[in-house]
Chain A
Amino acid sequence: MTRIRFAAIAALTALAASSAGAQLGSFNPPPGPQKTFAITNAHIVPVSGPEIANGTVVISGGKIQAVGASVSVPSGAEVIDAKGLHVYPGMMDAGTSIGLSEIGQGANATVDISEVGSFNPNAMAYYGLNPHSAHIGVTRVVGITHVITRPTGGILSGQAALVNLAGSTAPQMAVNRSIATVIEMPRSGFGGRGFGGFFAAQGPANTQDVNRTRQRQLDSLRTMLRDAEAYGTAMDAYAKDKTLPRPKHDVVLASLVPAVRGQMPVLMVADRVTDIKEAVGFAEENKLRPIIVGGRDAWQITSFLKDHDVPVLITSVMDLPTREDDPYDVNYSAPAKLAQGGVRFAITSGDAGAEARNLPYTAGMAAAFGLSREDALKSVTLWPAQIFGIADRFGTIEVGKAANLVVTTGDVLEAKTDTKYLFIDGRLVPLDTKHTDLNDKFKDRP
């Protein structure tokens, strides 16, 4: 019996090792130390203000120490001559699950993006994050320096983390291990996420059943939020008065307390008008601070979103129009309409990880369809930082902010632009990736 079991385990292990074999090792060279760097003769695009045609950025201790046209280079600084190059603040992808899933199809052992069951508020992306994921290297070299990586699935999916895309360990990468709670609101109408037609065929048979299921799920969600609120109150009361009965610790409810107290925003995944409105209504009813993720149809309800001051992380700029009679550019032009309507938003890649590097071109596409180029850049730098309340540290090139910078050959949103230097957390990051490694190995093979 023991032997058989052992053999079975060995076989399983062998299978996992073979399917995930490619993932072993690390493709991401670690960043260098936090030294003093002076990037000189650069065309600086600070985002916070006018461009500086020929200036210097000084960084040290992980922070931006000086920026301007007439900044002197501190003695001992490592000088990077950026003549002919551009300096931008590192971009932020606020709509990805990078590091949580390496090969989505056929290699389940590399997928840590979702937990079992519907209510997992304590599942932290931070603990699923693989610092050695090849996706991280290829994403950062286009100038995406930090991301919100979030778990998916179920209803309470877990907690998203703010991470820098450099470091050999999760603690080195994490800026905030729990920056937001993720709720994937049960949708109105038919069809699940993903293979809609296929699963819809097996799902509830009629609208009433669908809505009943959904109401039941929402009730469970409400109950859990109320429980978490009560748990927080009880814990606070006990902390003040130890003569009270000691409440039993509950890691699940404890993880929800910051969200139900409005101390932590809640990412609410919703695309359609009805679902977005429902999410906002639900958030207000339960005193949550919502950020809409998805937001495909948000452009149709800009005044609603503005009135309720709800920001949107739009994931669908590159998606095909949903309806046959939608304008061909309905999703390309959505960010321009959000901007016109005064809605706070950020453009995100909406990709699980491998193709998060398309973020700048996604913002560029929005600019090709009505968004100003300045706003397109803000939508992937300053605006996501503002939405998450971290604009005091990220999103622009200003003194005191984190030294997340990218030095490029041209406009950072252009696909043909190349990266020459990359700084994350004030550290110079090597530009080698899994892809440059393979390129180097094979490009001259006779």
Chain B
Amino acid sequence: MTRTLLFAASLTLAAGSLGAQANPAAAGAGATLIKNATVLTVTKGTLKNTDVLIQNGKIAQVGSNIAAPAGATVIDATGKYLMPGIIDPHTHTMSDAINEGSLSVTSMVRIQDVLNPTAINIYRALAGGVTSINILHGSANTIGGQNATVKLKWGEDVDQMMFPGAPPGIKFALGENVTRKNQSQIIIPGQPTTRRYPVSRMGQEEVVRDAFVRARDYKATLDDYKARVAKGEKNLVAPRRNLELEPLVEVLEGKRLVHAHSYRSDEMLMLLGLADEFGFKIQTLQHGLEGYKIASEIAKHGAGLSSFADSWSYKIEAYDAIPYNVAILLRHGVNATINSDSDERMRRLNIDAAKLVRYGGLTEDEALATITINGAKQLGVADKVGSIEVGKDADLGLWNNHPLSVFAAVDKTFVDGKVYFDRQQDLAMRDQKAKERADLEKAGANQAPATRRGVQPVLPQEER
């Protein structure tokens, strides 16, 4: 026991020191006053020459001429733009594994169990102004694993990165990735190519239906047991736990959000209909590239949709994707967002949002909402993040230009009021790192044996 505790303590220490290296201001737990910024609140318009006070990790005050509390860090943001931290509703960042693709239904597995908090792409995303992400299971099977909603607290451990209070969710998937019509997805080196049910959109419907029929029966068993316990019956045997069906029961109870990968309008419509029949909601259609063809039906069900800005034509089911998708959906009353599904694109979601001004004529606030507040709603955390409002978490990006400009870059990114990315600090650390590297390269022990200027390697003693 003591041993475990010690081990845990040393881990925390290690993470802490890493954090200190990478996020210089994280140590200052005090208040921060950002002065004289153009504040893009997203929900309450754009405020020029405005101050934002951060206290205890929250947005404490938004206004003009706010006095700095004693000991507060003051940042002069004249000429700069402050926006809410970007929220990416579809990523696979930090994941050491993405697909448990062996079965058609793998609702029992959790992405949370395979997250790597030292993945460098966390830092790169912060440098693109991203603060919260939805990490999804892959799209290899009809019902995939459970997702993780994460705050990008670079340098801290996974437990501290999990978004507090975010409702749990689960990935579903339909279409080509599930039916594996793209042969490249089923070749495993050294293994014969295998086929797994389902291989058609017909089979996909059946797999989802079958899973929810079983989940409904399981729920009835659980409910019956609970009712008898409540009635005070004695000597009852609790139903055996079913880790596959438990998350689906939560879906039926509205406690777990369904994020359903889907491309074609017909498969989306199938799933919405099936969900209506079983009495649950699809929280988001992920990708949903043909969502614009059935915008009214999606709005009627109440699903959100998270799309690419303009990626298309990389496979058959993406051939009718259009960059007007999000605009059409928004105009039909669907809560729509832009996502990256890519560690690369995640760093420039601001540019993807700007495209919506061109394609579909969104206002700047509407465009910004597709990468902030709309995503917060899709992940069930809109009371905490997604806009600059007093009382919300201080998850913010400070930009050197309007973030909808391609010429914009991030100066600082805050999560819960702490600076997790600072461009000036990053630049300053490069010289230090270069020197460190040069010193290491010069060190005798790092020279190749032939050039090792008289230093003999110290060979480890063999133990017998």
Chain A residues packing against B (C-beta within 8 Å): 19, 22, 102-107, 134-135, 198, 201-202, 318-321, 324-325, 327-329, 353-355, 357-358, 360-361, 364-365, 367-369, 373, 413-418, 434-436, 438-439, 442-443, 445-446
Contacts and interface: CB of A to CB of B under 8 A. Distances in A.
Contact of A135 (B293, B311, B313, B404): B313
B322 interface: yes
A321 B125 CA distance: 12
A416 B358 contact: yes
Task: List the 9 closest pairs (A to B, CB-CB), nearest first.
Answer: A364-B406, A416-B357, A415-B354, A354-B313, A439-B324, A105-B315, A435-B322, A416-B354, A328-B127
B430 interface: yes
Given A201-B189, A327-B430, A368 B358 contact: no
Contacts of B182: 105-106
Interface stretch (B58-66, B100-108, B116-124, B131-139): B116-124
A355 B355 CA distance: 13
A106 B181 contact: yes
Contacts of A438: 292, 320, 322, 324
B328 A439 contact: yes
A413 B327 CA distance: 22
A354 B357 contact: no
B42 interface: no
B313 A134 contact: yes
Interface stretch (B212-220, B247-255, B343-351): B343-351
Given A361-B406, A415-B358, A105 B124 contact: no
A327 B426 contact: yes
B285 interface: no
B7 interface: no
A104 B312 CA distance: 11
B184 interface: yes
16 contacts: A107-B315, A198-B189, A318-B344, A328-B124, A357-B310, A364-B407, A367-B406, A368-B406, A373-B407, A413-B407, A416-B355, A435-B323, A439-B328, A442-B295, A443-B292, A443-B331
B25 interface: no
B241 interface: no
A52 B310 CA distance: 33
B358 A443 contact: no
A368 B310 CA distance: 21
Given A373-B407, A416-B404, 5 more contacts: A355-B310, A369-B409, A415-B352, A416-B355, A435-B324
A327 B347 CA distance: 14
Contacts of B343: 320
A135 B293 CA distance: 21
Interface string B394-419: 00000001001111110000000000
B138 to A, nearest CB: 16
A413 B340 CA distance: 21
A199 B244 CA distance: 35
A25 to B, nearest CB: 13
B51 interface: no
B267 interface: no
Contacts of A369: 409
Contacts of A107: 315-316
B352 to A, nearest CB: 8
A103 B314 contact: yes
A304 to B, nearest CB: 20
Nearest to A416: B357
A415 B352 CA distance: 8
Interface centre among A198, A201, A325, A327 (most CB of B within 10 A): A327
Contacts of B316: 19, 22, 103, 105-107
Nearest to B421: A328
A186 B312 CA distance: 31
A443 to B, nearest CB: 5
Interface centre among B123, B189, B314 (most CB of A within 10 A): B314
Contacts of A324: 120
Contacts of A443: 292, 324, 327-328, 331
A103 B407 contact: no
B296 interface: yes
A325 B292 contact: no
Contact of B314 (A104, A198, A328, A367): A104
B197 interface: no
Contacts of A319: 344
Interface string B295-320: 11000000000000011111110011
B176 interface: yes
Contact of B426 (A328, A353, A434): A328
B433 interface: yes
A334 to B, nearest CB: 15
B123 A328 contact: yes
